[in-house]
């Protein structure tokens, strides 16, 4: 099995494994969406089965909910949980201030709502996701289907006055049809190259009619857990100003790794 996993996958696993240890009995925990979050859900499922961990998970997408149920995690809706102790999710990019770009998996709206309803947000990522300036990864925005082309034109016109290097956008597709997010919205990916002022851009994009929300997560993330392919883990807490390092033994077990195709 070890020959089948790339260093990036190993880095994602050790970050997820380290973050899973932050979950305690009785917690209500937001469960993110994407490849790194899938490792987390698998790790937590193993802790439920093997260690007797008892907690409630609030998934940020339908596919995370399905995986959580498959591995034995109790699943609640956000309305049922109301408020969360912790949300653990991945990110497409993060900078040194722990500003994020999220939404590569198409679930940015539910991810942001869940993260905002949590006492703490922890991001799990491999080292490659850390950047000096956000924007190399396309910035997703959810837009309502009605008049989406008009919304797209308004967004591109707005970008002219923003501190970005690129100003084109594309409609995300699923095969030959527009991709539909869980809330029924379309997703536009903005190809910005570099975002000079993420906070300003996030505020202005959300003022455009037709834009539901954008994938810039500003002042939401508290801690980032960074995994490396050799098993090293770095935990940065922006509130405490601390950096901790650790190493996690990489042991592959069939029940944890089988059928993980996210």
List the catalytic residues: 111
Task: Please indicate if the annotation marks 184 as binding a ligand.
Answer: no
Q: Which of 120, 127, 130, 128 is CA-nearest to residue 233?
A: 127
3-state secondary structure of 247: strand
End-to-end CA distance of the chain: 17
Task: Please indicate if the annotation marks 196 as binding a ligand.
Answer: no
Task: Please indicate if the annotation marks 227 as binding a ligand.
Answer: no
Residue with tokens 């002042």: 219
At residue 257, what are phi and psi to the nearest 5 degrees? -105, -15
Q: How far apart are CA 103 and CA 212, in angstroms?
A: 13
Q: Which of 93, 24, 32 is CA-nearest to residue 58?
A: 32
Task: Please indicate if the annotation marks 189 as binding a ligand.
Answer: no
Task: Please indicate if the annotation marks 103 as binding a ligand.
Answer: yes
At residue 245, what are phi and psi to the nearest 5 degrees? -120, 150
Task: Please indicate if the annotation marks 90 as binding a ligand.
Answer: yes
Task: Please indicate if the annotation marks 72 as binding a ligand.
Answer: no
At residue 30, what are phi and psi to the nearest 5 degrees? -75, 130
Q: How far apart are CA 27 and CA 38, in angstroms?
A: 19
Task: Please indicate if the annotation marks 112 as binding a ligand.
Answer: no
3-state secondary structure of 52: coil
Task: Please indicate if the annotation marks 259 as binding a ligand.
Answer: no
Strand order in the sheet with 93-94: 93-94, 100-101, 216-217
Q: How far apart are CA 250 and CA 247, in angstroms?
A: 9
- Beta strands 139-143 and 186-191 are antiparallel
Q: How far apart are CA 133 and CA 119, in angstroms?
A: 27
Binding residues for substrate, by number, are 33-36, 89-92, 102-105, 129
Binding residues, by number, are 33-36, 89-92, 102-105, 129
């Amino acid at each position: 099995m070890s020959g089948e996993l790339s260093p990036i996958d190993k880095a994602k696993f050790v970050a997820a494994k380290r973050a899973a240890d932050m979950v305690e009995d009785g917690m209500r925990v937001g469960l993110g969406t994407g490849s790194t979050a899938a490792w987390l859900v698998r790790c937590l499922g193993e802790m439920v089965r093997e260690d007797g961990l008892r907690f409630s998970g609030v998934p940020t997408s339908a596919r995370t909910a399905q995986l959580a149920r498959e591995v034995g995690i109790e699943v609640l809706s956000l309305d049922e949980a109301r408020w969360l102790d912790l949300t653990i999710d991945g990110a497409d990019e993060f900078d040194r201030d722990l500003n994020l770009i999220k939404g590569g998996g198409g679930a940015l709206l539910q991810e942001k709502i869940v993260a905002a309803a949590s006492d703490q947000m922890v991001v799990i990522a491999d080292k490659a996701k850390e950047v000096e300036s956000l924007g190399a990864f396309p910035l997703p925005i959810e837009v309502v289907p009605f008049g989406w082309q008009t919304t797209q034109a308004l967004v591109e016109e707005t970008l002219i006055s923003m501190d970005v290097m690129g100003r084109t956008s594309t409609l995300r597709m699923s095969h030959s049809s527009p991709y539909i997010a869980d809330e029924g919205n379309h997703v536009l990916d903005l190809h910005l190259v570099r975002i000079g002022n993420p906070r300003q851009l996030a505020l202005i994009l959300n003022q455009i009619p037709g834009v539901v929300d954008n994938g810039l997560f500003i002042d939401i993330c508290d801690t980032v857990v960074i995994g490396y392919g050799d098993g090293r883990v770095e935990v940065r807490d922006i509130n405490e100003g601390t950096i901790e390092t650790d190493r996690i033994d990489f042991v592959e077990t069939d029940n944890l790794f089988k059928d993980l195709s996210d």
